[in-house]
Chain A
Amino acid sequence: MNGVHDMGGMQGLGRIVAEANEPVFHARWEGRVLGLTLASAAWGRWNLDKSRHARESVPGAEYLCMSYYEIWFAGLIKLLVDGGLVTRDELASGQSEAPKQKPPLTADRVEAVLASGAPTQRTAAAAPRFSAGARIRARNIHPTGHTRLPRYARGKLGTITRHHGAHVFPDAHAQGLGEKPQHLYQVRFEASELWNDAQRNAVHIDLWEDYLEPA
């Protein structure tokens, strides 16, 4: 989706404001939003890619005005409703309309769950199409759903610098189409190609095979 979340290369979004001795959370509710999001995810009603897409789906003008955890809160509401864990009526009334259930994530399991994470590397049936050193062009595609191919790289020439193995393909996974693992590559794009900039800069982007074509 060509949304405002895809910010790489935009200009005029203001100065960078770094806060000295910044706390992990600026208010108690921020930590609760993080906790609610991680704990609700334990139901398995959505995956990481779906949750990213839920946050990207906040309308652009609102997204730009919201803080990070406000975006997470909006995304969580969408995930909970779409995932059938709460209804719009329950959100409006604040009252449960279903028998109490047993939460899948209990306090004693938090440490183990966070420590194991959710690795995305898989085995792929097909051999990788590209190898390190290959010249590629990022495809000029504009999927309306979730994608991890940033707009600024589309149509640009790059060089494969590393093969990461096969990983869950976010574009399919976010739509509930399964993991559809495919080969993932680290691709180097020179600043001269991306921005017509002669400085000695390069951007490395991790891109799935479907995003690439031979150059």
Chain B
Amino acid sequence: MPAPDHDHHHDHDDEGQQPPSDMTLRVKALESLLVEKGIVDPAALDAIIETYEHKIGPRNGARVVAKAWIDPAYRARLLENATAAIAELGFGGRQGEHMIAVENTPRIHNLVVCTLCSCYPWPVLGLPPVWYKSAPYRSRAVIDPRGVLAEFGLVLPDDVELRVWDSTAEIRYLVVPERPGGTERFDEEQLAELVTRDSMIGVAKARAPA
């Protein structure tokens, strides 16, 4: 794994221990103005934030992958038309309007990036982590993908083909990781527990069963 984030500046304004940061004040001022003008409804902001904090996240994608592992017909539909197959489970919409699933095999490993901004399949993975949106990942994932994977602790054999997917259009990519060994008796719910966010971006494999 990359080094833990010791020098990241966490913003603890809401704990009341420190004076509010510049950004806290600037965003508050803008929100007050936009509410006063009737440009935005503050309750709509609450609903948007609630959606991405609590309703939409990588558990959605994990359900898709687990179902693909257990149900060959679903796997075929997912690889044929991911948008429709994902919609079968009730997921879709903003930043996932056009989905493609790419499957890892013993011969092929897939890795997703957006070098130009931060495109990411929101309906199945939620909002992207900071590292995915960061300059180091966006710059290196295309030129040194094996080095990037090694930093995440994943060393690929030389004969495995590494396919990087740069999300330059409105097509969003979901990696279907390999099903871990020793899970033959697992049900869909147990399998979903093994499917991490990072394995669906392609910087990790699915978790091995305990």
- Interface residues, chain A, CB within 8 Å of chain B? 5-11, 13-20, 22, 24-29, 31-36, 38-40, 43, 48, 52, 55-56, 64, 67-70, 73, 76-77, 80, 85-86, 90-91, 94-96, 98, 100-103, 105-107, 109-111, 113-121, 148-150, 152, 164, 167-168, 170, 184, 186, 194-195, 197, 199-208
Contact = CB atoms under 8 A, between A and B. Distances in A.
Contact of A39 (B23, B41, B133, B134): B41
A117 B94 contact: yes
Q: Most B CB atoms within 10 A — which of A29, A36, A113?
A: A29
10 contacts: A13-B136, A28-B24, A29-B28, A80-B39, A86-B33, A117-B92, A119-B98, A152-B143, A201-B163, A205-B168
Nearest to A105: B44
B187 interface: no
B166 A94 contact: no
Interface residues of B, number: 88
Question: What are the 9 A-B residue pairs with the smallest beta carbon separation, nearest first?
Answer: A35-B45, A8-B115, A27-B11, A206-B169, A101-B38, A107-B43, A110-B47, A10-B139, A29-B27
Interface string B134-171: 11111111110110100110000011111111111111
A32 B169 contact: no
B182 interface: no
A94 B32 contact: yes
Interface of B: 1-5, 8, 10-14, 21, 23-24, 26-34, 36-41, 43-49, 51-53, 56-57, 92-98, 113, 115-118, 126-127, 129-131, 133-143, 145-146, 148, 151-152, 158-171
Contacts of A69: 23
A106 B43 contact: yes
A20 B51 CA distance: 22
Contact of A110 (B24, B28, B44, B141): B44
Contacts of B115: 6-9, 150, 152
Given A18-B1, A27-B21, A115-B93, A120 B98 contact: yes
B166 A17 contact: no
A1 B57 CA distance: 33
B135 A13 contact: yes
B30 A77 contact: yes
A14 B39 contact: no
Nearest to A200: B161
A163 B3 CA distance: 40
A48 B113 CA distance: 19
A121 B142 contact: no
Contacts of A18: 1-2, 5, 129, 131, 152
A86 B34 contact: yes
